[in-house]
Structure 1
Amino acid sequence: MKRRKFIRNSSTIAAGIISAPILASCKEETAVNLPSKAPTVPIAICTWDFGNATAKAWEVLQEGGSSLDAVHQGVMVEENDLNNNTVGNGGRPDRDGRVTLDACIMDKDGNCGAVLAMQNIANPISVARKVMEETPHVMLAGKGAEQFAYEQGFEKTNLLTEKARQDWLEWKKTSEYKPIINIENHDTIGMLAIDAKGDIAGACTTSGMAYKMAGRVGDSPIIGAGLFIDNEVGGATATGVGEEVVRTVGSFLIVELMRQGKTPQEACEEGVKRIIAKNKDKQDFQIGFIAINKQGETGAYCIHPGFTYRTYTKDGHVNNPSQSYLNG
């Protein structure tokens, strides 16, 4: 069943159940108080210094493309970069030597799609979009996601490059699993964009923690954790140790804080502080959030210094250092 038909049928049923007074009440409770200044749009932002990705997204936006196409094509740049060992083709494998990829995408209407622990497909973000647009589901995992990709015309690809294989063999000598803060100054890529129409979309893609347990999935493909978009309010995405982001449903939390009136910066800071509060005796890991509101205002915050985020607007293309909870 096509997704649009599925949603249309579901909406018709729901309309007969939910009364007008209840709908009116919900509308009042979710009123958004946004700044009144002129919006800064279009805009593309992403985690870390992935300038080639934001450049591609900006190209799409400048040509009048949608925010959805911008984030999709933007993060694909990193999926296809064999020198990026944490995203897409060339990503580091799990402890058994298998490269498994995770990704999700979300559009202005709240439609979303995700793939988890998928092998042998070079562009998981494209498969995630197919899940969103061609199925009644939100997530497909493992072999099911891979089979769906083949049915949609994706080709089987050996994702384990020789460099990644050699790194894995070197790791096996000690088999020590200890993620290093800000290693190589890059990680998961999460991207947010607003197009000329003012519509927001987001995408997130990763190969996950290097040498993770087989089947491990972090926050990146989880809607509400690694990525969340509300076209009335804004969007947020995350990077770092995904387990901690999942425990606080971090990206959804940040968007809801913006709905309540906080700026993107204030919301990101609160998101990190919620994680710190749950790890009072453990701060040897990194989390970074970025956020954008409907006006095109941005924010970023992390635990340890070193996290940066890219912004591309009519005013320029900048790699911005994020403020951090710790300062050493």
Structure 2
Amino acid sequence: MYNRRKFLKISAAGASLAALSKYTPASAANLSLAPTLPIVISTWDFGIVANKEAWKTLSAGGRALDAVEAGVRIPEADMHNHTVGRAGYPDRDGHVTLDACIMDEFGNCGSVGAIEYIAHPISVARMVMEKTPHVMLVGDGATQFAVENGFKKEKLLTPESEKAWKEWLKTAQYSPVMNIENQQHRPGGKYNHDTIGMLAIDAKGNLSGACTTSGMAFKMHGRVGDSPIIGAGLYVDNEVGGATSTGVGEEVIRNVGSFLVVELMRQGYSPEEACKAAVERIIKKKPETAKKIQVGFLAINKKGEYGAYAIQQGFSFAVCNAQKQDLLIPGKSIYKG
């Protein structure tokens, strides 16, 4: 008999389906490549070479965790990159301090913040994850841990970075540069960028992610952004997907941005829709601030569908899978001017 209880049950189910239909995973028309595994994606155009390094592991059937660590070590070692790794610009006191985090398919994670004298913070972050009961080590303690575990201690302030710092000291005005990648040319026509965040799914369907940066140039000594903070600069859930961020870390931290993106995907949002919603939340909370800064999110779901969104134009991300190894995609944005 068709009673009121049965009617309400059917109505509720219909409403749930209707809600999900708005946020179904992105169709092939909305993707630059149809989903295929394994796959690795990362922020900015230097993500192309980073992805290719990660692909060596993925294409051989290796683990996503090994792939993302190997991948982001490439920009960390790039002597022309002044926002990631050993050639990063220093803080206002002349210290090169680096941040990084890593997360695997089991929910294990490790990070380092404001570490000095170590060229590859991502590998120290992985060691924190695998060799300690902790998630995060910072400052002198992180450096001590790295040295005790075989990492080489070295001066990271390069002549080029030191020259830029001394030039900045003439005015000592601090204002984050929006889309720095479009304003600082590198030799060979390349550009200087921002944080690299990388997400990968291996042949077994398992996810891992990595994020590494030297932070904002000429920041206050001791400043740590979103990049080493699990849930802000990076978050991975092997049942759902992963997300990473780039740009002004303070606003990402305030909104726990990458965790938010993953949770939205859990609710049925496509990666692009989830990234856009996270960006919109930042703008809603601080509309005047958002007009002056850049924040971008990049995400991938369990199926291998990916997407990105940013506050301002200029953000791009790289994709690598069996179909194409050097794809660079312009990220969509809220503000177009």
TM-score normalized by structure 2?
A: 0.86
Per-residue CA distance 1:195-254 (angstroms, 9 max, x = gap): 000000000000000000000000000000000000000000000000000000000000
Matches within 5 A, 1:21-170: 40-50=36-46, 51-170=48-167
* 2:334 corresponds to: 325
* 2:318 corresponds to: 310
* 2:281 corresponds to: 274
- Distance (Å, rounded) in 2 between the aligned partners of 1:210 and 1:36: 36
Q: In the alignment, is the contact (CA less than 8 A) between 1:34 and 1:294 conserved in 2?
A: no
1:180, CA displacement in angstroms? 1.4
Q: In structure 2, do the counterparts of structure 1 residues 36 and 93 end up closer, same or farther at CA, with 3 Å as the change threshold?
A: closer
SS at match of 1:217: coil
Q: In structure 2, do the counterparts of structure 1 residues 176 and 40 end up closer, same or farther at CA, with 3 Å as the change threshold?
A: same
- List runs of 5+ in structure 1 lacking aligned partners: 1-32
- Distance (Å, rounded) in 2 between the aligned partners of 1:312 and 1:39: 11
1:65, CA displacement in angstroms? 1.1
Query: RMSD of the alignment, in Å?
Result: 1.4
- Distance (Å, rounded) in 2 between the aligned partners of 1:49 and 1:232: 28
Over alpha carbons, which structure has the higher Rg? 2
- Distance (Å, rounded) in 1 between the aligned partners of 2:174 and 2:231: 27
Matches within 5 A, 1:200-279: 200-279=207-286
Where does structure 1 differ by over 2 angstroms across 4 or more consecutive aligned residues?
33-39
Per-residue CA distance 1:163-191 (angstroms, 9 max, x = gap): 00000000000101011111134100000
- Distance (Å, rounded) in 1 between the aligned partners of 2:26 and 2:115: 43
* 2:18 corresponds to: none
Q: In the alignment, is the contact (CA less than 8 A) between 2:25 and 2:271 conserved in 1?
A: no
1:34, CA displacement in angstroms? 8.1
Q: In the alignment, is the contact (CA less than 8 A) between 2:109 and 2:129 conserved in 1?
A: yes
SS at match of 1:89: helix
Q: In structure 1, which of residues 287, 292, 306 is the aligned counterpart of residue 295 of structure 2?
A: 287
Aligned residues: 296
1:279, CA displacement in angstroms? 1.2
- Distance (Å, rounded) in 2 between the aligned partners of 1:224 and 1:184: 25
> Match of 1:44, as an amino acid?
V
> Match of 1:210, as an amino acid?
A
SS at match of 1:160: coil
- Distance (Å, rounded) in 2 between the aligned partners of 1:98 and 1:256: 36
> Match of 1:281, as an amino acid?
E
SS at match of 1:216: coil
- Distance (Å, rounded) in 1 between the aligned partners of 2:264 and 2:151: 39
> Match of 2:85, as an amino acid?
G
